Structure 1
């Protein structure tokens, strides 16, 4: 089955969130970065679960 547009966009979004997480970790924004990571990658997880 081919990936949907939503799957592709949520994957790209998760990658951007991971990059931002790494940048925030470097600036010692630990609490904010961990919450951002959890909420940002959950989108893709929810999309996959729905499919």
Structure 2
């Protein structure tokens, strides 16, 4: 068995975990941005209507 196999496996697992966490965080941020943009459009529409 290769001596570095387990540390490399652990590194790959942690990298994959961090990548999944990053994608989840980015998805949440995109949804929040979309919600904020919709709210701003609604506010602008209400202001334009007087």
TM-score computed with the length of structure 2 as normaliser: 0.48
Largest Rg, 1 or 2: 2
Greater relative CO, 1 or 2 (CA 8 Å, sep 6+): 1
Give TM-score scaled by structure 1 length: 0.47
Higher helix share: 2
